[in-house]
Chains A and B, each alone.
Chain A
Amino acid sequence: QLQLQESGPGLVKPSETLSLTCTVSGGSISSSSYYWGWIRQPPGKGLEWIGSIYYSGSTYYNPSLKSRVTISVDTSKNQFSLKLSSVTAADTAVYYCARLGSLWGQGTLVTVSS
């Protein structure tokens, strides 16, 4: 049974880089035809797509975040990762990883505060 689990610091200082990893278990991240992505949800608000990656490394980013986002994949570890630079309080949110169009991780709250 496929499962996704986010991991990383729950508190990041302003201007620093937020780094999260998604570990995929019960299935291979190299499975063809699936894209893997990061989505976030500020407290009390809706869902915002951050970006997506294919196992080959092809990436697609939300234009509003593109200048600050890097998503990468490590097929040997069955993981993909998110880096968001120059964070501000507006980046405080629950961050989800997902196999697009199907299963999501449980989410992890990241707070940006000094």
Chain B
Amino acid sequence: EIVLTQSPATLSLSPGERATLSCRASQSVSSYLAWYQQKPGQAPRLLIYDASNRATGIPARFSGSGSGTDFTLTISSLEPEDFAVYYCQQRSNWPPGWITFGQGTRLEIK
């Protein structure tokens, strides 16, 4: 089973600052890595799929990078609405319906 470890657990920043969130896999997931944003009381929303592709309607300030075991979500300049919890998620090449989540990073206002 592939384990995803996110760091830091909590990130305290101010609006306008740059946020860098990390996700490390226990073994290679190739580029099959997604990032989700979750706000209180809401379902997670897909931000990035296949490591670096922005989902439909996601602002350009969100970007993803990495492959293999190390991945990064970058928010170039934080907006007030970006403070939320972020999860990474991997999907297996085989079996293809098998997924796991990281434990989440809480991005809070400093």
Contact = CB atoms under 8 A, between A and B. Distances in A.
Interface of A: 35, 37, 39, 46-49, 51-54, 58-60, 63, 96, 100-107
Given A101-B34, A101-B91, A102-B55, A37 B46 contact: no
A105 B98 contact: no
Interface residues of B, number: 22
Chain B interface SS verdict (over half): loop
A59 B91 CA distance: 14
B8 interface: no
B43 A52 contact: no
15 contacts: A35-B96, A39-B101, A46-B103, A47-B87, A48-B101, A49-B99, A52-B97, A54-B97, A60-B98, A96-B44, A100-B97, A102-B55, A103-B46, A104-B45, A105-B43
A58 to B, nearest CB: 7
A25 to B, nearest CB: 16
Nearest to B89: A47
Chain A interface SS verdict (over half): loop
B1 interface: yes
Interface string B19-55: 0000000000000001000000011111001000001
Given A63-B1, A102-B55, A47 B44 contact: yes
